[in-house]
A and B are shown apart, each in its own frame.
Chain A
Amino acid sequence: MTPARVERPNSLDDLSKALAEAHRQGLACIPVGGGTRLAAGNTPERYDVAIDLAGMSSMIDHVPGDLTAVVDAGVRIQRLQEILATSGQRLPFEIAHPHKATVGGALASNPLNLTGILFGSIRDWVLGMKVVLADGTTTKTGGRVVKNVQGYDLHRLHTGAFGTLGVIAEVALKLLPIPDTTRTVAAWFASSQDAAVAAKTILDSPIEPEALTILAGPEAQPGTLGAAQPKDGIAGSTAALLARLAGGPAAVSRQVDMVTGAAGAAAADGYEIIYPQEAEPLWAIARGESFDPNGLTARITVKPSAIPNLLEEIEKRGAAGLTKPPSYAAHPGFGAAIVNWPLAKDQDARDAARFAFTMAERHRGHAVIETCPAAIKPEIDVFGTIGPSLEIMKRMKQQFDPARILSPGRFAGRI
């Protein structure tokens, strides 16, 4: 869909005026950040004005002593991280294409955090926000201190709302120090089940990896792991386990030993211990950057204990039904898998979507289709089934945007 007009606000004031005007005219607005997740969500009912927030990116008010930063929504994640890093700090939030994705866009669309196992979702790092509502009213929620229970936590509601309740203009974030030492262990296995066994040993041990991901499939092949080519003799591997370990040097060295031990005990074909820079291409795969953008990508959330079974079923189904096998990045500690099916025809997309929803249901979890061909979107709600609380969500939309000008139809239940 293409909008008739693009608004490019440079300030909170501009943004407020643009929305007030659109509201007066009843024009449907979609906020645009880095554009990395514009394809996510249901197809909007109407799309008249694109609100491009790239211009709202000048403020990065970082107070290292407070471990907090207040930033404009249009600031790119990568740029924010670079600035924080000059003071030895970071936002523990790692998503695909950080050089393009903006803070506001990431918050609004709530992509999976690679480090979620230890640091949770982005909602856990938001301290407050300035949000412009549908009629142009500017509102503040929360604050910029790390503990705050004044008023309702509206910022949690706007997080992951895809801009359907308001446009996020400014965000206060909680930060963490960057650890002294970080190492990645990559281990290769004959099957994802073996990798899952190693993962479980790690999860049951005292150590707490920052990220723990099982990769498998053509787009996440051990053989294509860029700088970190696997050693000889593991050509038969079909799955890799990545573990990122951080802390002081002594703690990291023990964690590395523990992880390599767990991999060995689960019959790994081989492993490598990798420095941060060399590991980055591997983690980019884990963030889903090598997935086929024209394929169907599903995010399936289940309990951690269901992950091995889920992976088994994905692989079985991939080989039997669909034209091409899927690739995936699964996070066994967090309990989620991002699965990417390359598609030969629209029917493949329907099959893959149905499969993802069925799997979610079987494990009493949920699935969200993050990318899929526009042609099949009208047939499904990409957010899956919400349940009885959908009624509250609908009333929430009614309360915040009765004229339905903010991304109408894009959210769960076509809110």
Chain B
Amino acid sequence: MSPATKSKSRSAANAKPPLIRDLERVIDPRFVIWRPEDLLVYEYDGSIDRSIPAAVTVPGSAEETAAAVRIAKRHGVPVVPRGAGTGLSGGAVPLRGSLVVAMTRLNRILEINAENKIALVEPGVVNVELSNAAAEYDLYYAPDPSSQKACTIGGNVAENAGGPHCLAYGVTTNHVLGLEVVLADGSITWLGSDMREAPGYDLRGAFIGSEGTLGIATKIAVRLLKTPEAVQTMLAAFRSLDDASQAVSDVIASGIVPAALEMMDRTTIDACETVYRPGYPPDAQAVLIVEVDGLAETVAEQSAKIETLCTGNNASEIRRAQDPQQRADLWATRKGAIGAMGTLAPNYYLVDGVVPRTKLRDALAKVMEIGAELNLKIANVFHAGDGNLHPCILFDERDPAQVRRVIECGERILEMCAEAGGALSGEHGIGIEKQAYMPLVFTEADTQAMSRLRPAFGAEESFNPGKVFPGGAVHGETYGVKETGFHRTGTADVI
């Protein structure tokens, strides 16, 4: 029985479970949450799964975080770190009656060292705020998930998050130099350093992308990049998905790695037109958003070349952002596209599969074929340059038959990605959602080798149990899709 249910049978005065009493001794009771009605907001993240935590605490320092971990250990309660809860694979959903340790108060940018182009931040810092703060020094933090206005650097580290600009500049792991982490025994240690290299095993690299299963990051040292001197953002419209895909391949083959290369299909455009009114060509079946940056000369040369390649693939229209506002508008539409899906259907399910970029065209055709076979509408808005698909399967959770088809659809798309030599997830993580599919890409020996990291970090099942590995989330442990629903399509201004 979880402490939350226990409390119901007792009188208000002595209702506090011992775990809570112990936590309140070291953490301000305002930041120890345990009443069932208050726990509801912590039972879900951006994914489809839900599960109620035993309690939630919001520590105010690394030391308080460590103390919370020690107390949870003493009570035999596992710990689930939580950032902003925007994760799309159930990473922050607490299984096994865990204690959620939320990073909300650890939200300070501790240092921006402009001379060495590094920043030291707490994990609860919202991604975009770091770049905003660094802008004063003509620097920025490169990984920019579409959710960057809400998601945290700690969550980014845990998921090894990507974003549109990761095509040229790499994902989170390529930008994090080191981290302070709280381990399962409540000790605090550094992995990596605040320099470009550190001797010993790359524990930093092992921790990044470990989805909160090895420890809690309490400080993060990251690399900042110089704001490029020039940027050109372009929009190219195509009358077919095939042409747009071919243009993507041709750009990569031409020896240009743009800063970003994103695609939106007609269904996505429809959603965006309703909400943002970008006024894209009405006959466009797909648009590409291409950005090049760097020295003015490089930008001029590459954008001209990209224009030629798009025209060569029958682009019906090419628009260049003429000023920072137009550029911002182009990105606002792209980054808000998923939020706009609400105009098309009550729910969406976003599949994060990856295919080799040379197989993009076939993979997209296949996705649409699977959707058609299952009579489901799919919107595609994705990181085309990396081959990271994001088919958004649109549906209505009130129709159980449809929900079953949605799950089958996701499964078949991931199978297709695995067969194409791709990956189950490009940036959202395995979490609860995709663990059953791990055998599509890994043998038991592979996952077993991975599982050795947990005891090496002293973590066993003390952090985020039931995640990543196949069979982790026991059937019935989370609320089923039917009862609580898939991710609801939100309002457009959230992210």
Contact = CB atoms under 8 A, between A and B. Distances in A.
A19 interface: no
A389 B191 contact: yes
Interface string A168-179: 000000001110
B18 interface: no
Contacts of A391: 189
B429 to A, nearest CB: 5
Interface stretch (A3-11, A29-37, A62-70, A346-354): A62-70
B173 to A, nearest CB: 7
Interface stretch (B73-81, B205-213, B396-404, B484-492): B205-213
Query: Which of A301, A303, A391 neighbours the largest number of chain B CB atoms within 10 Å of its CB?
Result: A303
Nearest to B183: A392
B255 A144 contact: no
Contacts of B388: 147
B170 interface: yes
Given A141-B449, A145-B421, 13 more contacts: A88-B255, A146-B357, A147-B388, A152-B453, A157-B202, A157-B203, A177-B255, A206-B229, A247-B297, A250-B300, A301-B197, A389-B191, A396-B453
A125 to B, nearest CB: 9
Nearest to B440: A150
A127 to B, nearest CB: 10
B195 interface: yes
B200 A383 contact: yes
A302 B446 contact: no
A80 B264 CA distance: 36
A106 interface: no
Interface in A105-137: 112, 116, 120-121, 123-124, 131, 133, 137
Interface string B424-457: 1111111000100010011101110110110111
Contact of A116 (B190, B196, B249): B196
Closest 10 CB pairs of A and B: A156-B205, A177-B255, A147-B426, A250-B297, A65-B358, A251-B297, A399-B452, A206-B229, A148-B423, A396-B456
Contact of A388 (B189, B196, B301, B452): B189
A63 B356 contact: yes
A67 B442 contact: no
B203 A392 contact: yes
B386 interface: yes
Nearest to B138: A206
Contacts of A293: none
Interface in A380-398: 383-384, 386-393, 395-396, 398
Contact of A137 (B191, B205, B298, B445): B445
B200 A153 contact: no
Contact of B195 (A143, A157, A255, A335): A335
A66 B204 CA distance: 27
B160 interface: yes
A387 B203 CA distance: 13
25 contacts: A65-B252, A88-B255, A137-B445, A137-B449, A141-B446, A145-B422, A146-B354, A146-B357, A147-B387, A149-B159, A149-B426, A152-B206, A152-B453, A161-B201, A177-B256, A206-B229, A208-B226, A247-B295, A303-B195, A335-B195, A366-B199, A389-B191, A392-B456, A399-B453, A412-B201
A159 interface: yes
A323 interface: no
Could you say which interface size class chain B belongs to?
A: 35 or more
A301 B456 contact: no
Interface string A390-415: 11110110111000000000011100
Contacts of B194: 303
Contact of B115 (A67, A88, A305, A396): A305
B423 to A, nearest CB: 4
A269 to B, nearest CB: 27
B200 A390 contact: yes
A274 interface: no
B301 A248 contact: yes
B355 interface: yes
Contacts of B298: 247-248, 251
A205 to B, nearest CB: 9
B368 interface: no
Contacts of A153: 160, 173, 205-206, 208-209
B295 A150 contact: no
B358 A146 contact: no
Contacts of B187: 388
Nearest to A398: B456
A68 B425 CA distance: 18
A254 interface: yes
A178 B357 CA distance: 19
A334 B223 CA distance: 11
A389 B189 contact: yes
A139 interface: yes
Contact of B197 (A143, A144, A336, A399): A336
B468 A368 contact: no
Contacts of B357: 65-67, 146
A317 to B, nearest CB: 22
B427 A254 contact: no
A147 B171 contact: yes
A304 B194 CA distance: 11
A362 interface: no
B82 interface: no
Contacts of A143: 354, 421-423, 441
Contacts of A208: 226, 294
Contacts of B166: 147
B196 A251 contact: no
Interface string B302-324: 10000000000000000000000
B174 interface: yes
A278 B355 CA distance: 41
Interface string B201-234: 1111110111000000000000000101100000
Contacts of A400: 449, 452
A389 B200 contact: yes
Interface in A330-372: 334-336, 365-366, 368
B186 to A, nearest CB: 13
A392 B446 contact: no
Interface string A201-229: 00000111000000000000000000000
B387 A146 contact: yes
B253 interface: yes
